[in-house]
Copies of this chain bind each other. A is one copy, B any other.
Amino acid sequence: MSSDPDKPNKNNKISLAEVAKAAGVSKMTASRVLRDGGGFSEKTRAKVMAEVDRLGYLPNRLATVFAGDKKSTFVGVSIPELGNEIFAQVLEGIDRKLGAFGHQTVLGLTEHEIDHEEKWIETVLSWQPAGLIVTGRSHSPKAIQMLRSAGIPLVEIWDFNSSPLDMCVGLNHFDSGYSMGRYLAGMEYRKFGYVGTSHDVANAATARLNGFSKAIEDANGRLEKQLLLRDTPGFYTGFYGTEQLLAAHRDIETIFYQNDNMAIGGLQYAQKIGLRVPEDIGIAGWGDLPISAIQPYRLTSIAVPHLKIGQIAAEMVLAQINGEPVKSAKDVGFRLIPGSTVKKPRTNA
């Protein structure tokens, strides 16, 4: 017999059977009361709920999912890192939305490593999640195969992709880099530098750099140096990256950074060594992070609706779980912020 109400289980947890027995009803009746689907008298309900409270019964959702051969309420969410505040905010957007609809985030930090991601996907799928949200569009072949056959809603975020595995929300990073390159080239800068960080896999930042590089090429400018540091993209990396870059290439006229925090670091370095911004050196960031708003200079940057990305990703998963029709790929776009840390266009007399 299963769930013998007289034999406490190994965890000393109260089971439905025990509640039912104490209330003098069957397991099924107790189950119905707890799920509140109707089909029981008020008197029965009261009896059962009284015992639930008295015994401190907590349902075992493992058993629930298992018995119903359903999905759990988990949604797996993989993010490269949280040291980068933009990803932290994407995650916050996702979890809030999921939480509001009774779902839980199972977190996976991939550290930009495709192998980590693969391993995490395998693990999280074994918990029968209701959906998956992963950052980026490059996955290992095995990961792709697992994602394909999982049969659950999947959203690839960050990097917009017109033919995603399932769904996708993000922006075209190449284009955003190209925009910035074209904008800077239009300000009559000729000698460019780039400071960012490097990872094993092709990632969104690399796409931005590629776009930037292409724009410069198209404008007959010269990308003197692209400095890729093996570090986290933050203030300090921007600061010392700029120091390194300028030490080797004093003639660089403007620098594009992987993100705003690095750009702010670069700005501080430029000021420290007495360079005037934007006269002596142009500084451009990416992301339009909060820090930009309070600087004495408005940082030239690319604004990205990152909160929206997380929110939309969660909505896509939820909609598909509920069987609603979903647009499968959403480009949230970006916006160039002219700012005041690069030169202005010449006014036409």
Contact = CB atoms under 8 A, between A and B. Distances in A.
Contacts of A293: 235-236, 239
Contacts of A120: 99
Q: Which of A10, A11, A128, A294 has the largest count of B CB atoms less than 10 A from its CB?
A: A294
Nearest to A84: B88
Contacts of A271: 296
A91 interface: yes
A275 to B, nearest CB: 14
Given A124-B104, A126-B60, A268-B296, A83 B72 contact: no
A272 interface: yes
Given A89-B82, A104-B107, A268-B294, A62 B127 contact: yes
B72 A82 contact: no
Nearest to A76: B104
A347 interface: no
A105 to B, nearest CB: 4
Interface in A241-259: none
Contacts of A127: 61-62, 72, 104
A109 B99 CA distance: 8
Contact of A85 (B88, B124, B295): B88
Contact of A145 (B56, B149, B238): B56
A72 B66 CA distance: 14
Contacts of A108: 99, 104
A119 to B, nearest CB: 9
A146 interface: yes
Nearest 5 CB-CB pairs, A to B?
A88-B88, A82-B92, A61-B126, A105-B107, A82-B88
14 contacts: A9-B69, A10-B69, A60-B66, A61-B128, A77-B107, A82-B88, A82-B91, A99-B108, A99-B109, A104-B123, A105-B107, A235-B290, A235-B293, A236-B294
